[in-house]
Chain A
Amino acid sequence: MDKVYKRTLGIQEGVVSGFCPGCMHGTAHKLVGEVVEELGKLDKLVRVEGVGCCGLGQAYVSHDTIIAAHGRACAVATGVKRCSPDSLVYTYQGDGDLASIGLDETVSAANRGENFTVIFINNGIYGMTGGQMAPTTLIGMKATTAPFGRKAEEHGYPMHVCEVLAQLKAPQFLVRTTVDTPQNVIKTRKYIKQAFQNQIDGKGFSLVEIVTTCPTNWGFTPKDSITFLRENMLAEFPVGVYRDKDAGIE
């Protein structure tokens, strides 16, 4: 028999991740490693990470990592990529980091069409700090800072990052996906590969939004969190390609 699936070299050998059981941050880390390993560029890979549970990845991945101040990953990645154009640069950010405190840096980098890749983890909550409301928290969903559930009149509506960025001219590739089934994992791997290939080809800003579970702060078992993701998260955040200049999707 031949080995048909192996653990990627993009994550450290023998190291157990710090993520909670069923947290799809792990899946996203694995996919980035697999894609860049396949592209043969692991030695050129630089990760700029936000603040949040993504920080647990610092001791997990096998490539160079910079931790930006909360929300500033896209600004730091701009500097890294411009100073070191041969590096393959990506930011790895949660929804609190990318869409709340860091919204300015995200939109500005997208608007400049910066040539790096963004991996955006949308789990609808602040995971690391214990379940506060995020810009992506669903209407009616409880958070420690919205104990009776999010109300549109008081807290505004869930923020749709791909749709907002699709208003700009510069971005090359904007896609929303999820990793709840093997089929969706395979699809997401394809999107992440395209996002990194765009950077290698100098095409500019590519963002892959992955809708994920946070079983711990949603208060579900991992299996039930997948049901919640399918029935509620994906209803508010439809998967799909929001921009792909190569495919004529503007």
Chain B
Amino acid sequence: MAKGKVDINPEFCKSCEYCVVSCPKKCLAVGEKVNSKGYLYVVSANPDDCIGCAMCAQVCPEGAIEVWR
């Protein structure tokens, strides 16, 4: 079972990808769907690898990510 879990609010995400490059486990990726503002939002592509370190949430400028551990 994964040690952590992220919840990314699709409406807040602007696809800057700061979280994608900051995740030490490479869990996150730009998804295939767009939100109502037209941004391809980030999703947890490898949720099983998440350790709940919250590095993604720390760098997120939009406060879009909440993390559980």
Contact = CB atoms under 8 A, between A and B. Distances in A.
A6 B59 contact: no
A20 B18 CA distance: 13
B34 interface: no
B66 A11 contact: no
Contacts of A17: 61-62
B69 A16 contact: no
A169 interface: no
Interface string A26-39: 11001000000000
Contacts of A19: 61-62
Given A16-B11, A24-B61, A222 B54 contact: no
Interface in B46-65: 52, 54-65
Given A21-B14, A22-B14, A22-B18, A185 B66 contact: no
Contact of A16 (B17, B37, B55): B37
Interface residues of A, number: 31
Contact of A182 (B12, B59, B69): B59
5 closest Cβ contacts across the A-B interface? A26-B61, A22-B16, A21-B14, A222-B16, A1-B68
Size band of the interface chain B makes with A: 20 to 34
A55 to B, nearest CB: 17
Contacts of B59: 27, 179-182, 185
Contacts of A141: none
A82 B60 CA distance: 35
Contacts of A180: 59
Interface of A: 1-8, 11, 16-17, 19-27, 30, 179-182, 185-186, 215, 222-223, 226
Contacts, number: 81
Contacts of B61: 17, 19, 22-27, 30
A72 to B, nearest CB: 27
A129 B22 CA distance: 31
A7 B63 contact: yes
Interface in B13-27: 14-18, 21-22
Among A4, A22, A24: residue with most chain B CB under 10 A: A4
Contacts of B67: 3-5
Among B4, B5, B59, B69: residue with most chain A CB under 10 A: B59
Contact of A21 (B15, B21, B68, B69): B15
B62 A26 contact: yes
Contacts of A23: 61
B69 A30 contact: no
A1 B52 contact: yes
B62 A5 contact: no
B5 A1 contact: yes
A61 B18 CA distance: 22
A27 B58 CA distance: 8
A233 to B, nearest CB: 16
Given A21-B14, A222-B16, A16 B62 contact: yes
